[in-house]
């Protein structure tokens, strides 16, 4: 019984040692996998941080573009009377009652690009500043400008003629006075 007992315990110890080594190998593999997962998580955190920074820049660019679109829309409306549907109207008179009313109340619009933009407001601006609408309004504006320049040129010619006629009239009057005095 003694030798069988010792053999049994030796086999049992050897089995425990084998199991222990297997558990150590499994534990080392698990620790390696944990380390790899930690590195992947850190890489993902870095990508998340970079994407958040890119999103913030994109949001800032979006606000800037919205601000510029608003300014363009305002300028087009003031300059060429841009209206919805591609129609244009004559620009509002400068220094009119509306602008005097604003000046007297002291209220001013904020030109800050940080101003809140509701989706419906942005959609309205986008709809009003459609490229075809702008093109039509610009064609109308250019035609009005050409007409105004032509009218100015005609008036300058007329002014020159009137000036010449006035000069001629003065000379005729001088001659008439001279003949009357004789």
Question: What does each C-alpha distance from 178 to 147, 168, 174, 175 come to in angstroms?
Answer: 46, 15, 6, 5
Closest by CA position to 73, among listed 16, 122, 7? 122
Return d(Cα 25, Cα 147) in angstroms, integer: 91
Task: Give the pLDDT of the chain (182 residues) as one tens digit per residue.
Answer: 678 888 888 888 888 899 999 999 999 999 999 999 999 999 999 999 999 999 999 999 888 888 888 888 787 777 776 555 544 444 444 443 333 333 333 444 444 444 555 556 666 666 556 677 778 878 888 898 899 999 999 999 999 999 888 888 888 888 888 888 87
CA distance 123 to 54: 24
CA 90 to chain centre: 27
The pTM of the full predicted model, rounded to 2 decimals, is 0.42
Q: How far apart are CA 88 and CA 77, in angstroms?
A: 9
């Amino acid at each position: 019984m003694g030798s069988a007992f010792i053999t049994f315990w030796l086999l049992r110890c050897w089995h425990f040692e084998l199991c222990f080594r297997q558990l150590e190998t499994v534990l080392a593999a698990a620790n390696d996998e944990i380390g790899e997962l930690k590195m992947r998580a850190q890489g993902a955190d870095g990508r998340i941080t970079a994407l958040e920074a890119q999103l913030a820049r994109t949001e800032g660019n979006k606000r800037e573009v919205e601000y510029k679109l608003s300014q363009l829309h305002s300028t087009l409306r003031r300059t060429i009377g841009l209206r919805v549907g591609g129609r244009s109207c004559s620009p509002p008179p400068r220094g009119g009652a509306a602008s005097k009313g604003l000046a007297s109340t002291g209220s001013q619009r904020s030109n800050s690009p940080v101003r809140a933009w509701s989706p419906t407001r942005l959609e309205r601006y986008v709809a009003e500043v459609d490229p075809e609408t702008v093109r039509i309004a610009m064609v109308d504006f250019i035609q009005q400008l050409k007409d105004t320049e032509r009218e100015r040129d005609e008036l300058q010619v007329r002014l020159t003629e009137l000036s010449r006629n006035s000069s001629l009239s003065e000379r005729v009057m001088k001659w008439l006075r001279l003949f009357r005095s004789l």
